[in-house]
Amino acid sequence: MTTTHDRSRPTVAPTAISDASRGFTARVSLGRVLAPVPSEFLLIASTALILTIFGLVMVLSATMATSLAAGESPFEVVFKQGVFALLGVPLMFILSRMPIRFWKRVSWLALIGGVALQLLVFVPGLGQEANDGNRNWISIAGMQAQPSEFLKLAFALWLGYVLYRKQTLLGDWRHVFIPVVPVGLLVIGSVLAGQDLGTAMILVLIMLGALFFSGVKLRIFVIPLIAAVVAVAVLAVTSPNRMARIMSFLDADCLADYADKCYQPLHGIWGLAGGGIFGLGLGNSREKYSWLPAAAHDYIFAIVGEELGLIGCVVVLGLFTLYAVGAFHVIRKTPDPFVRIVAGGITVWIVGQALINIGVVLRVFPVLGVPLPFMSQGGTSLLSVLLATGVLLSLARSLPPRTAPAPVRPERPARAR
């Protein structure tokens, strides 16, 4: 029996088939790279970039006068800050491409590395101590870094992974407390050993935020909350320096202690008040001329208020609000407990720290020494919040796609019989 071949069909060479498949693969890969991202991703990324640029402008404005007085270039400080921004922004978008399973795998490694890095502050020759006894910096090759800033991100990732693995056991207080509380005490204790109460309080907020968003019962959540408040009160009472700050904060007649603990808080308030509604103009601050010691650090918000007025302050608050809205949308929409817990911890850290910093400038809180995220001078702080934002963007990418509602067909009118 002979078989006839259909000569009307053109034969395709193997090379042509492979070229076609390669082209299809390239189109698929390009589609993945350019795939649309959730609106939460765009909201978080854009506000982070705007805050970073805004912060660089304000650091330049706050440090030009003191740099010139010291015989340095007026761009000396902002150039160093800009290097960390140029490093942090690309890293933020690189981390945003990482899958969720990557963060689960590196959580333990990140925590171990973060604690080991924090312990370097106690190594002679590496650790650096500030004038107030705060030992929370290391110096390598003439550059200073604050390891506890990276410890915040590592702690949030670790809490997310541990609480995610124990989702079905969180009704039992023993599974909630172990290993969260012992490891948390180790992490927070390594920072408190360097006399940095402000950073320790942010770590406590991260732990409380992770526990809250993990869905533990309220009666179990209240216990670590009360323990944290009692611990902070004890640490404040047992430190003469901290007690002096608290007493100056509670003193209604702070002018009586103007030359000591009230000096910086008063000048911060005077800077805000001097700006009025529209401000003195960018670069026209008076307080930055050595009147406000931490003008570019913890009190950068006072310079914003003095130069850009109430309008500038509202813009900063609005940007942090938009950042929080995008982050909370990630928390609300995700079906993954790990994503919800880590996103909650990072959001409580960045937004909570911003509120604490602004509250200190407004004299709502005593001086705690925490920087304003994205904006305060300090390369380590800027780099850490950009990396944390990169993790948050990665979590935002994991949100399920929005499904369009099915079209409703109009009902046909019934035929008359």
Q: What is the 3-state secondary structure (H, E, C) of 99-143?
A: CHHHHHHHHHHHHHHHHHHHHHHHCCCCEEECCCCCEEEEEECCE
Taking residues 146-150, what's their average pLDDT? Answer: 93
Share of the chain above pLDDT 70, in %: 83
The token pair at 158 is 């670790």
**Residue span of the structural domain in which 88 resides:** 44-397
Q: What is the pLDDT of residues 384-403, one digit of tens each?
A: 999 999 999 999 999 988 76
| Residue 66 lies inside a defined structural domain of this protein | yes
Looking at residue 334, its pLDDT comes to 95
CB 254 within 8 A of CB 248: yes
Q: Is the pLDDT of residue 247 over 70?
A: no
Backbone torsions φ then ψ of 375, nearest 5 degrees: -115, -35
**156 against 166, higher pLDDT:** 156
Neighbours of 261 (CB within 10 A): 20
Q: Residue 160, SS3?
A: helix
Looking at residue 131, its pLDDT comes to 62
User: What single-letter amino acid sits at 101?
Assistant: R
Looking at residue 388, its pLDDT comes to 98
Looking at residue 326, its pLDDT comes to 96
Taking residues 361-385, what's their average pLDDT? Answer: 92
**DSSP assignment string, 234-278:** HHHHT-HHHHHHHHHHH-S-GGGGTTTTTHHHHHHHHHHHHHTTT
Kind of pairing, strands 127-129 and 135-140?
antiparallel
pTM of the entire predicted model: 0.86
Looking at residue 27, its pLDDT comes to 41
| Residue 179 lies inside a defined structural domain of this protein | yes
| Residue 3 lies inside a defined structural domain of this protein | no
CB 83 within 8 A of CB 378: no
pLDDT band (50, 70, 90) for residue 240 = confident
> Considering only 62-76, 146-160, 236-250, 390-404, which range has the smallest mean pLDDT?
236-250
| Residue 145 lies inside a defined structural domain of this protein | yes
- Within 13 Å of residue 403, how many CA atoms lie on the same side as its CB? 5
Looking at residue 409, its pLDDT comes to 63
In whole angstroms, what separates CA 171 from the centre of its chain? 29
> Considering only 148-152, 180-184, 405-409, which range has the smallest mean pLDDT?
405-409
Looking at residue 144, its pLDDT comes to 85
Q: Is the pLDDT of residue 6 over 60?
A: no
Residue 206's nearest CA partner among 159, 136, 147 is 159
Spatial distance between the Cα atoms of 64 and 281, rounded to a whole number of angstroms: 15
Q: What is the pLDDT of residues 105-117, one digit of tens each?
A: 999 999 999 999 9
CB 159 within 8 A of CB 206: yes
| Residue 30 lies inside a defined structural domain of this protein | no
- What is the chain's alpha carbon radius of gyration, rounded to the nearest angstrom? 27
Looking at residue 251, its pLDDT comes to 67
In terms of average pLDDT, the best of 8-12, 236-240, 391-395 is 391-395
In terms of average pLDDT, the best of 162-176, 179-193, 212-226, 322-336 is 322-336
User: What single-letter amino acid sits at 138?
Assistant: I
Q: What is the pLDDT of residues 46-59, one digit of tens each?
A: 999 999 999 999 99
Cβ neighbors of 284 (< 8 A, separation 6 or more) are 307
Looking at residue 407, its pLDDT comes to 60
Spatial distance between the Cα atoms of 137 and 121, rounded to a whole number of angstroms: 6
pLDDT band (50, 70, 90) for residue 3 = very low
Q: What is the pLDDT of residues 253-290, one digit of tens each?
A: 676 666 677 888 888 999 999 999 999 999 999 999 98
Q: Residue 281, SS3?
A: coil
Spatial distance between the Cα atoms of 385 and 374, rounded to a whole number of angstroms: 7
Looking at residue 413, its pLDDT comes to 58
pLDDT band (50, 70, 90) for residue 172 = confident
Instruction: Report the mean per-residue pLDDT for the chain.
Output: 85
Looking at residue 90, its pLDDT comes to 97
pLDDT band (50, 70, 90) for residue 12 = very low
Q: Residue 19, SS3?
A: helix
Q: Is the pLDDT of residue 404 over 60?
A: no
Instruction: Name the domain count of the chain.
Output: 1
Kindly compute the dihedral angle of the four CA atoms of residues 350, 354, 360, 364, in this order, to the nearest 10 degrees: -100
Residue 144: its H or E element: strand 143-145
| Residue 188 lies inside a defined structural domain of this protein | yes
| Residue 22 lies inside a defined structural domain of this protein | no
CA separation, residue 379 to residues 25, 142, 144, 376 (Å): 41, 14, 9, 9
Looking at residue 257, its pLDDT comes to 67
Looking at residue 259, its pLDDT comes to 65
The token pair at 48 is 């982070």
Residue 58: its H or E element: helix 39-69
Spatial distance between the Cα atoms of 63 and 380, rounded to a whole number of angstroms: 18
> Considering only 87-101, 158-172, 313-327, which range has the smallest mean pLDDT?
158-172
